[in-house]
Amino acid sequence: MLWDDAGKPRHECGLCGIYHHEDAAKLAYFGLFALQHRGQESAGIAAYDGQTVRVHKAMGLVPDVFSETTLRGLPGDTAIGHVRYSTTGASNVINTQPLMVTHKGDLLTVAHNGNLVNSISLRQELEERGSIFQTTMDSEIVLHLMARNAGEELDRALSKTFTAVKGACSALMLARGKMIAVRDPDGFRPLCIGKLYSGGYIVASETCAIDLVGGYYLRDVEPGEVVIFSGGEEPRSLFPWPKQNSHFCIFEQVYFARPDSDIFGINVYSTRKRMGEILAREAKIDADFVMPFPDSGNYAAIGYSRASGIPLEMGVIRNHYVGRTFIQPTQSMRDFNVRIKLNPVRSLLQGKRVIIVEDSIIRGTTGKSRVQSLRDAGAREIHMVISCPPSRFPCYYGIDFPSSSQLIAAEKTVAEIADYIGLDSLHYLSLEGMVEATGLKKEAFCLACFDGNYPIEPDRAFHKSVLGGGTD
Ligand code: SF4
């Protein structure tokens, strides 16, 4: 199990497709750059020039994977791109995306965000019928299903393929000379369509990618919609699934998405600020100031401060120049990993009662060392408020949460967590408060990591292979 350096679960993946633009690969590159927070392990772009598809992909961050030269090697007016953090399938170059196969002369290419919860049984079925898989990723199943349906006309092949997979599936495809965008009927992961000012379309996981490449938001790809971009015309849609309720991942609003994005039609910055305001209503604490640990909790802290009237201060300063590798400290340099990135402002904290606003606590270990650093800097009382309810259940739909045994809230009461982290008090936002902050109805969301009500249960094989053995 891998974690980011703030002890938070990792983002899943990010998608960016460009259609009908002469600089498609270059714009996809900038789109991926805006979506880098959704996956930092690998990046890739597949471009189509009307004749063939070329792919460039590698391990690493977007600016490390691509250069002017590699982008020049991706000609064409259509491109799909992917940034990845592995949630199923090992982290190695074979598992980078977009994935491409040739089948009966057609080049099929896919980039996928989400986890398929019937992937193991589908893969077994396909292997028994002769399919040979190149990777260990669930995304490859989509290509095999498309190949199985190669004899069908496109709309029917797409419908049969995507209704066969269950779980979270936002995807971009190149097939039969067309760009195709798909979102599963629950709509777990976001996917939106924008129009480029310089002509053509963009499809991206988040609206921040549309902003960067120079375009405007048109609409979301609806849950249960397949959008086909073809012939330079207006895109057309299929709805192969029966109509049902959406189950948007609320964690996108709490933590994953960029605050400058609109996700599920709601601005993330405003939602996080409202979460802080509602927290102030629910958890009244007397303190000298409110502070976030940058950058988690920044916007909820603004909301909490505004609603409570308690001033907002930046009690720790972030060093923005921490590289990915540095010389390891000696044993005597206690809490080095915390301090190198975030250093408390000693004169501000001395003798003060502070409220830390955080967006989540997953294992609690990072929170513990951060709180200790504030105590060392002289803080007299330390309270913590969290802008979501306790995370007690694992995620099956593409977020790298740990198993329940590693989630601190699954094992301990709120008082025990406060004690473990070293806090004077700890308060979580209620489930109702979190939903209220979005302005949407509770039924619109997946809330499974908080309440254990999974919109789609994984099949037995998935449970055994992926959840039983831990994700890669
Ligand atoms: S279980 Fe949690 S993290 Fe996973 S999709 Fe549902 S709300 Fe999102």
Q: Say if CB 409 and CB 390 are below 8 A apart.
A: yes
218: Cβ–Cβ under 8 A, 6 or more apart, which residues? 192, 193, 194, 195, 201
Q: What is residue 18's three-state secondary structure? A: strand
* Strand positions, DSSP E, 293-432: 316-318, 342-344, 353-358, 381-386, 425-428
CA separation, residue 415 to residues 337, 361, 375, 431 (Å) = 27, 14, 19, 18
Helix axes of 414-421 and 365-376: crossing angle, nearest 10 degrees: 50
pLDDT of residue 402: 62
| Tens-digit pLDDT profile for residues 179-235 | 999 999 999 999 999 999 999 999 999 999 999 999 999 999 999 999 999 998 899
Helices (H) and strands (E) in the chain, counts: 18, 23
For a mutational test of ligand 1's pocket, the pick from 246, 250, 456, i.e. the residue with the most ligand atoms closer than 8 A to its C-beta, is 250
Ligand 1 centroid to residue 447 C-alpha, Å = 6
pTM (2 d.p.)? 0.92
pLDDT of residue 457: 86
Ligand 1 centroid – CA 449 distance (Å): 5
Torsion angle defined by CA atoms of residues 301, 302, 308 and 311, in that order, rounded to the nearest 10 degrees: 90
* Residue 446 Cα to ligand 1 middle (Å): 6
Under DSSP, is residue 170 helix (H, G, I), strand (E, B) or coil? strand
Q: Tell me if the bond preceding 98 is cis, omega within 30° of 0.
A: yes
Per-residue pLDDT at 465: 63
How much distance in Å is there from the Cα of 63 to the middle of ligand 1? 29
Task: Tell me if residue 13 is catalytic.
Answer: yes
pLDDT attached to residue 9: 57
Asked if residue 111 lies in contact with residue 98, where contact means CB atoms within 8 angstroms, the answer is yes
Report the pocket of ligand 1 as residue ranges, CB < 6 Å. 188, 249-251, 395, 397, 399, 446-449
pLDDT of 405 reads 77
H or E segment and range at residue 301:
helix 298-308
Cα torsion angle, 427, 429, 432, 433, sign: positive
Strand 266-267 to 262-263 pairing: antiparallel
Using DSSP's 3-state secondary structure scheme, residue 46 falls into strand
pLDDT by 10s per residue, the chain, length 472: 233 445 565 557 999 999 999 999 999 999 999 999 999 999 999 999 999 999 999 999 999 999 999 999 999 999 999 999 865 556 678 889 999 999 888 889 999 999 999 988 999 999 999 888 988 888 899 999 999 999 999 999 999 999 999 999 999 999 999 999 999 999 999 999 999 999 999 999 999 999 999 999 999 999 999 999 999 889 999 999 999 999 999 999 999 999 999 999 999 999 999 999 999 999 999 999 999 998 889 999 999 999 999 999 999 998 887 755 455 556 566 566 667 788 999 999 999 999 999 999 988 888 898 999 999 999 999 999 999 999 999 899 988 776 777 889 998 999 999 999 999 999 999 999 999 999 999 999 999 999 999 999 888 777 666 555 433 3
CA distances (Å), 48 to each of 16, 31, 52, 174, 176, in order?
14, 17, 6, 8, 11
Domains (range + CATH), the chain:
13-247 (3.60.20.10), 266-318+336-443 (3.40.50.2020)
| Sequence-separated (6 or more) residues with CB below 8 Å from residue 291 | 301, 312, 313, 314, 315, 316, 354, 355, 356, 357
Nearest to 133 by CA among 143, 460, 45, 112: 143
Residues 290 and 312: beta-carbon distance below 8 Å: yes
- Give the pLDDT confidence score for residue 472 in this predicted structure: 30
384: Cβ–Cβ under 8 A, 6 or more apart, which residues?
A: 355, 356, 357, 358, 367, 371, 418, 421, 423, 425, 426, 427
Question: What's the confidence (pLDDT) of residue 5?
Answer: 44
The pick from 255, 271, 442, 447 for probing ligand 1's pocket by mutation, whose C-beta has the most ligand atoms within 8 angstroms, reads 447
Q: How does pLDDT run across 229-272, given as a tens digit for each residue? A: 999 889 999 999 999 999 999 999 999 999 999 999 999 999 99
Q: Which of 113, 115, 246, 249 to mutate to test the pocket of ligand 1 (most atoms within 8 A of CB)?
A: 249
Contact predicate 279/300, CB 8 Å: yes
For 15, 46, 230, 233, 294, the CA distances from 53, given in Å and listed in that order, are 17, 6, 15, 20, 42
